[in-house]
């Protein structure tokens, strides 16, 4: 073999090795970034709040979460593994550890009673079938109602007895005090929001008390030149350059009118006035977004502090930060948002501004 040919082969092998190494490095970097985003998302604590909590197992938790998460009166949901034989498990181990795929539901009893919620739950499961729902078979797909408040037992028992009258076979849905609950992996959370065409054994075409949906593609981000022309210099600096406005000297910090706050860049709905409170910070403060998926979360270590930055989903606008010093009775979170990132639409103007569906929150 000629020396020149050997050199070509050697360079080719070296080039291939570099390319492979680079691809692995890139993959690891992307994975790290995703994990950062997961760690950044705050977890509210409703254990001492004014809301009620219940855990429901209804087969594959993707569809069960999507069903309840779209219901007016449901404040928060996540998915996990309940009442198994150990305090630790994962998606690939639940068949051995005896956990059931379940969802954690936080609901406002002033809007949605436990009796109503359980009625809807029995309407989407086959309560007389053991260890199977839809196409899924196994102990992890059993049905169950796991309560944390002992006073809820009588209501659960009464609703179940009423449901039994509709069936010839005995109901096999477990009714137990919650023993353990392990949060499921991030890719399972809001799975059908991330994967609209994903498998679901629950009929999502007719959700009772359904809240208005907020779709990302309905609020496209304009080009930079258009954004500059529509915003003031301060609004542009806040949303596009991560600036912060002066506290107590911004339009909405003390606004008490009812309405909807949207992304000033795209118009995507972000916060309700019903979730706004006076934090004393001098900026508009909210206990939660109008829907969980309209925000993205990012680790922010600027200014020598470790904070969680909040951005809008569609426009990627910098909004502000979220902290864990909010009202305990509302879950403990405080979304501290710049007025310059928001546009307020009064309740009386929602219909003509194209947000008429959101009037359901004020009726």
Q: What pLDDT is recorded for position 232?
A: 98
Q: What pLDDT is recorded for position 35?
A: 40
Catalytic residue of the set 54, 56, 57, 60? 60
- In the annotation, is 60 catalytic? yes
Give the Å distances, CA to CA, from 213 to 61, 65, 271, 281, 347: 20, 15, 14, 31, 18
Q: Which pTM does this prediction carry? A: 0.86
Block means of pLDDT (10 residues each) for the chain, length 363 residues?
46 39 30 44 93 98 97 97 97 96 98 98 98 96 98 98 98 98 96 91 93 95 98 98 98 98 98 98 98 94 90 98 98 98 98 97 92
- In the annotation, is 336 catalytic? yes
* Length reported for the chain: 363
Phi, psi of 159 (to 5 degrees): -65, -40
- Residue 41 contacts residue 166 (beta carbons within 8 Å): no
Q: What pLDDT is recorded for position 165?
A: 98
Which residues, 6+ apart, have CB-to-CB distance to 156 below 8 Å? Answer: 114, 118, 145, 147, 175
Catalytic residue of the set 336, 337, 341, 350? 336
Helix/strand/coil (H, E, C) string of 205-229?
CCCCCECCCCCHHHCCCCCHHHHHH
């Amino acid at each position: 073999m000629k020396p020149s040919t050997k050199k070509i082969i050697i360079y080719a092998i070296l080039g291939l090795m570099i390319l492979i190494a680079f691809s692995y490095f890139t993959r690891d970097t992307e994975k790290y970034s995703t994990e950062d985003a997961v760690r950044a998302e705050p977890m509210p604590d409703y254990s001492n709040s004014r809301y009620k909590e219940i855990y429901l197992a209804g087969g594959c938790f993707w569809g069960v979460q999507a069903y309840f998460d779209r219901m007016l009166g449901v404040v928060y949901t996540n998915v996990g593994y309940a009442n198994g034989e150990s305090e630790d498990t994962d998606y690939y181990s639940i068949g051995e550890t005896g956990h059931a795929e379940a969802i954690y539901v936080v609901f406002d009893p002033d809007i949605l009673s436990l009796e109503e919620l359980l009625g809807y739950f029995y309407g989407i499961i086959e309560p007389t079938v053991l260890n199977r729902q839809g196409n899924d078979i196994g102990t992890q797909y059993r049905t169950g109602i796991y309560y944390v408040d002992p006073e809820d037992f009588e209501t659960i028992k009464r609703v179940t007895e009423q449901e039994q009258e509709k069936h010839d076979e005995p109901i096999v849905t477990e009714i137990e005090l919650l023993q353990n609950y392990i949060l499921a992996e991030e890719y399972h959370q809001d799975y059908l929001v991330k994967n609209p065409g994903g498998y679901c054994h629950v009929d999502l075409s007719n959700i009772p008390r359904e809240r208005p949906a907020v779709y990302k593609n309905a609020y496209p981000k304009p080009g930079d030149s258009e954004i500059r022309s529509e915003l003031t210099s301060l609004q542009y600096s806040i949303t596009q350059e991560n600036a912060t406005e002066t506290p107590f000297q911004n339009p909405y910090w003390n606004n008490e009118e009812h309405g909807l706050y949207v992304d000033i860049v795209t118009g995507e709905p972000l916060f309700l006035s019903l979730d706004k409170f006076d934090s004393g910070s001098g900026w508009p403060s909210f206990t939660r977004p109008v829907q969980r998926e309209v925000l993205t979360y990012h680790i922010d270590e600027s200014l020598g502090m470790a904070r969680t930055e909040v951005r809008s989903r569609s426009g990627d606008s910098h909004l502000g930060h979220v902290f864990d010093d909010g009202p305990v009775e509302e879950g403990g979170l405080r979304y501290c948002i710049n007025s310059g990132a928001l546009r307020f639409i009064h309740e009386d103007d929602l219909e003509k501004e194209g947000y008429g569906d959101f009037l359901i929150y004020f009726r």
